Structure 1
Amino acid sequence: MANLVIGQRFEGSPQMFFDTRIARFELHQGGQVAPYAGRMGDIPALETVIKDPGLLVIVHQTQPSTLKYHEWSKFQAFVDEKGFGDVLSRHLERGLPRDGFYESYTRHAKALIAVGSGSGTDHVTGMEVEFIAGVNPYVDDLSQGLPVQLLYQGQPLAETQITIIERAPTGDVHVKTLQSDDRGQALIRTRPGHTYLLDAVVLRPAPKNSEAVWDTLWAALTFFVPER
């Protein structure tokens, strides 16, 4: 079973399954891809039986949603949190208003789940932005950390902020950030018994025919590090 959750720091509200909000919902395992079709209104949104052991990669991509900013300060807070730099100058150069504008956002999430032994590897799924885990957190040695690569339109996404949300077995949550290198790679230090959510965002101008003026594409990767 898996919930779709909207929130922060591993806290939020489970969302119902609505196929009109979903662009992709897939189960990847052993080189096979199975689209997932739930029932409208289901909570948890995913409930199925996996018969074969191995690493299961759950892929979930939303349809675009829009958010209206009534004042620039709220958008600036988001810009600062994600380390986008001087977006205000870019905004004003485009002749855009400082209030009453829209952002369009889509979410591109993956979760790594161990079924049985959990052996297997993560891989590129073709989402427009996504994390790729370089090793398997359930079976591989993580003493030097877990390497990941961030891709955008199939190419490495360099010098981009990655937010690491770490939940301890006690429920305590810690957040830190780092930057991907020029190959879109980063090394995530992990601890046994902890759950991790990696987050990165692409900010780009929205198409001219869109109600929104900015597009954001959110990548997420969730996994657990078992005790060895």
Structure 2
Amino acid sequence: MLTRLLSVVISASLLSGGAGAHEFWIDPERWQVESGAPLVVQLRNGEKFEGSPQVYFPNRIARFDMVTGGAATPYTGRMGDVPALEAKAPDAGLLVLVHETQPTTLTYRDWDKFVRFVEHKGHAAIAAEHVARGLPQEGFAESYSRFAKALVAVGDGAGTDAPTGMETEFVALANPYTDDVMGGMPVQLLYRGSPRADAQVEVFDRSAEGTVTVSFLTTDAEGRTLVPIARGHEYLLDSVVLRPLHDPDGPVWESLWAAMTFSVP
């Protein structure tokens, strides 16, 4: 009981504080499972594909779905669950796990930290825009929300990904479990249902030995990019929309984080 309580406290701190600049992703225990077998999934928050497990908090979740064949089944866990999802794998096919968080607020007390964040996420011009808006350089707030997907093969893993209606999301244009993606994994980045062109995509590539490499891609006019692939590796894609808010008593920026995870057999 003490261990569970400590885990809850740690995760609550991560979700409400400085973890706003970290990636958030869906991390299945196994990427390929048989129908009816245990499906165990962690939600993680961290950096460079290494992160702490997050506790299942219903009030922090806007959406948590298991999507197969285009049909979404909402997942409901228990308060305090770690892992956040434990269920029986559905019928054979490509399983798309979808997780959307409620907005969380982060307060910046260090201007340099904000500048490093916007530059790292491909929004270097935001710092100058912040100053031009006459905003303070400390004590200001950002609201952030997470929009994560993961691709899991159940049985043969056959099927396709598709838009799920999240405000921003990656859509896999190939199936890494059934298609030949050695020439690259094609993905499309959407924002409000439309292609997000000329956007930075950060790619975290983890080898079977656990070595993580980081690279950056840019989407084309159709919001598409091709992710270099190696067999036996796991991938996390991350891209951030950063837009202004104009409530004088609330956050002055809003970030929307799209993430997708998958493995290549």
Q: TM-score category by the smaller chain?
A: over 0.9
Indicate whether 1:124 and 2:124 are aligned: no
Aligned: 1:163 with 2:202: yes
The reply to whether residue 112 of structure 1 matches residue 151 of structure 2 is: yes
Map Cα deviations across residues 161-213 of structure 1 (whole Å, 9 max, x no partner).
00000000000000000110111110011000000000000000024266110
Q: Which runs of 5 or more residues in structure 1 are unaligned?
A: none
C-alpha root-mean-square deviation of aligned residues, in Å? 1.0
Q: Distance in 1 between matches of 2:134 and 2:79?
A: 42
Residue 219 in 1 paired to residue 258 in 2? yes
Of 65, 81, 100, 1:42 maps to 81
Identify the match of residue 63 of structure 2 among 11, 21, 24.
Answer: 24
Tell me which of 98, 123, 142 is aligned to 2:181. 142
Question: SS of the counterpart of 2:59?
Answer: helix
| In 1: Cα distance, 2:234 partner to 2:169 partner | 19
Q: Supply the AA of the counterpart residue of 1:71.
A: D
Task: For 1:4, give the aligned amino acid.
Answer: L
Offset of residue 77 of structure 1:
0.5
Distance 2:122 2:169 in 1: 18
Distance between the aligned counterparts of 2:70 and 2:181, measured in 1?
24
Aligned length: 226
Moved more, 79-88 or 131-140: 79-88
CA offsets 1:49-73 (integer angstroms, 9 cap, x no match): 0241110000000000011110210
Alignment-mate amino acid for residue 133 of structure 2: R
**Among 117, 126, 130, the residue aligned to 1:91:** 130
Match of 2:219?
180
Higher mean Cα deviation, 29-38 or 213-222?
Answer: 29-38
Q: Does 1:152 align with 2:191?
A: yes
Q: Give the unaligned 5+ runs of structure 2.
A: 1-39
Equivalent of residue 228 in structure 2, options 189, 197, 203 = 189
CA contact (8 A) 2:107 2:140 kept: yes
- TM-score, length-scaled by structure 2: 0.83
**Residue 8 of structure 2 aligns with which residue?**
none
Greater alpha carbon shift after TM alignment, 27-36 vs 196-205: 27-36
Q: Is the deviation greater in 197-206 or in 90-99?
A: 90-99
- Secondary structure at 1:2's aligned position in 2? strand
Identity %: 54
TM-score by length of 1: 0.97
Equivalent-residue separation in structure 1 for 2:128 and 2:231 (angstroms): 44
1:198 aligns with 2:242: no
